[in-house]
């Protein structure tokens, strides 16, 4: 009986596809980072150029004795004089309610910053609703004789040239990265073909063995495959030995049964001894079969919970309970080393601490405090509240026992907690809190490791609701 084997995706395809995805993500991330860096660098350079234009504009500006602007008819940068050139300037004099704009602004609604405090610089991107501009502006206190005014110099540049520069860089970047990716994929495919060639050769030799053209894997293979080919040869040899053993066993069985069968055939000629003869020969054949079958040989723990960080569990539980008791404005305080660990199943930890903190939330008036620290060779966790406390600890530890029937619950929470704690080698103690005045539940667990640092200063307070 043969078993049909379905072929899966080839290793070569998996490696090429996986490496291609990794390469694609890497190149996309690299391209994004390079483009972002180039964009920021180019923008900074353009703002620096605009700042230089502002300084030139300041150098060309004067005011008269009345504090009015006196601007030259010609500026050093010719683009200020050409309408629609893409570079525009403005000088605002709010005190005298006047503003000068460069000739390049004619017919344009260029956005400017018109009021800044003296000495204040601002570099930002502005828009008029349709077109975007890079703008550099500066506030200056200007004195000329008795005249003293605050002026704002503002230079804006159309982003078209900036965007064209970015597009050119982006096209060049993707062209080079695309070419590099193609070369890497070709090189990768060639390397994978070379690296996987021994596996293909093993497959060919196995087919030859199946078709009887050779008896074992004979080629020389890298050390990584040497154990595999040696193991396959051992399996092939064992399979052949097993088949030979089955053939020999069947032959021996057939030969051994010949005599009892001949005796039975002869017994048919003497019916008087037939019953006794049949009984004797059947027993003999049974022993023969058991003997031949017996020639085939028959072949023939403790678990530990992983170490888990305690603080994230406490934070998650208190976050959830703060939402549950939002209307009561409960305040949760956690004192726990971020690296403190306990050997307990994570589900048990959530069950235990969740039950205890939920009970504290039901009874607390406003404050709940959780402290976790190493004490006398044990990990100690204490949960305190400012509620009425627990008058009868033995009662609440009994299954179904409840301190107050008016508070919702089934009365089995602390019993479950005590069972879980005991199962993990710990102890549970119910005390009276000297700090908050309510109940104090103390859990002691075997030490995972000596404390590496003290818990002083490791307080986190959660005041709810947010």
Q: Are strands 331-336 and 367-375 parallel, antiparallel or unpaired?
A: parallel
| pTM, rounded to two decimals | 0.41
| CA–CA gap between residue 145 and residue 142 (Å, rounded) | 10
Closest Cα to residue 47, out of 165, 161, 158, 135? 135
b/e sequence 268-288, b meaning 16+ C-beta within 10 Å: eeeeeeeeebeeebeeebeeb
| CA–CA gap between residue 215 and residue 208 (Å, rounded) | 8
Q: Write down the pLDDT at residue 349.
A: 86
What does the pLDDT profile of the chain (466 residues) look like in tens digits?
444 555 566 777 777 888 888 888 888 888 888 888 888 898 899 999 999 999 999 988 888 888 888 888 888 888 888 888 889 999 999 888 999 999 888 888 899 998 999 999 999 999 888 889 999 999 999 887 778 899 999 999 998 888 888 889 888 988 888 888 888 888 888 888 887 788 788 888 888 888 878 888 887 877 777 777 877 887 787 777 667 767 766 776 776 777 777 777 777 776 776 777 778 778 877 766 765 554 443 333 233 457 889 999 999 999 888 888 888 889 999 999 998 888 777 878 888 898 899 989 988 999 999 999 987 778 899 999 999 888 777 776 664 444 444 444 433 457 768 877 877 778 899 999 888 989 999 998 876 444 444 433 344 444 443 3
Looking at the DSSP assignment, which residues form a beta bridge with residue 439?
432
Q: What counts of helices (H) and strands (E) characterise the chain?
A: 8, 15
């Amino acid at each position: 009986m043969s078993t049909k084997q379905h072929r899966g995706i080839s290793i070569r395809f998996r490696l090429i596809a996986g490496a291609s995805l990794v390469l694609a993500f890497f190149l996309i991330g690299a391209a994004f980072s390079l483009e972002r860096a180039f964009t920021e660098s180019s923008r900074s350079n353009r703002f620096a150029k605009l700042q230089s234009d502002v300084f030139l504009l300041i150098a060309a500006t004067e005011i008269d004795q009345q504090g009015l602007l006196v601007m030259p008819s010609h500026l050093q940068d010719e683009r200020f004089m050409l309408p629609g050139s893409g570079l525009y300037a403005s000088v605002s004099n709010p005190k005298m309610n006047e503003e000068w704009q460069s000739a390049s602004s004619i017919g344009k609604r260029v956005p400017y910053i018109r009021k800044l405090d003296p000495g204040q610089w601002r570099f930002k991107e502005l828009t008029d609703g349709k077109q975007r501009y890079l703008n550099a502006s500066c506030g200056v206190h200007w004195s000329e004789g008795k005249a003293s005014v605050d002026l704002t110099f503002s230079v804006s540049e159309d982003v078209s040239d900036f965007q064209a520069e970015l597009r050119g860089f982006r096209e060049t970047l993707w062209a080079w990265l695309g070419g590099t990716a193609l070369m890497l994929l070709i090189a990768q495919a060639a390397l994978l073909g070379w690296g996987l060639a021994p596996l293909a050769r093993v497959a060919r030799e196995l087919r030859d063995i199946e078709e009887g053209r050779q008896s074992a894997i004979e080629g020389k293979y890298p050390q990584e495959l040497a154990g595999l080919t040696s193991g396959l040869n051992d399996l092939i040899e064992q399979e052949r030995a097993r088949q030979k053993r089955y053939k020999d066993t069947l032959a021996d069985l057939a030969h051994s049964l010949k005599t009892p069968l001949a005796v039975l055939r002869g017994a048919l000629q003497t019916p008087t001894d037939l019953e006794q003869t049949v009984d004797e020969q059947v027993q003999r054949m049974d022993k023969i079969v058991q003997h031949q079958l017996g020639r085939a040989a028959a072949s023939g723990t403790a678990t530990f919970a992983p170490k888990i960080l305690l603080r994230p569990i406490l934070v998650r539980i208190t976050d959830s309970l703060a939402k549950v008791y939002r209307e009561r404005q409960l305040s949760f305080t956690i004192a726990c080393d971020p690296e403190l660990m306990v050997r307990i199943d994570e589900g048990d930890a959530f069950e235990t601490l969740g039950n205890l903190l939920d009970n504290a939330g039901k009874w607390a008036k406003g404050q709940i405090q959780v402290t976790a620290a190493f004490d006398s060779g044990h990990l100690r966790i204490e949960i305190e509240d400012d509620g009425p406390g627990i008058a009868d600890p033995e009662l609440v530890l009994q299954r179904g026992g409840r301190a107050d029937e008016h508070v919702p619950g089934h009365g089995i929470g602390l019993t479950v907690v005590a069972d879980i704690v005991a199962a993990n080698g710990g102890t549970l103690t119910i005390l009276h809190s000297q700090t908050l005045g309510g109940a104090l539940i103390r859990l002691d667990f075997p030490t995972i490791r000596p404390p590496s640092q003290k818990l002083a200063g490791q307080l986190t307070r959660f005041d709810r609701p947010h």
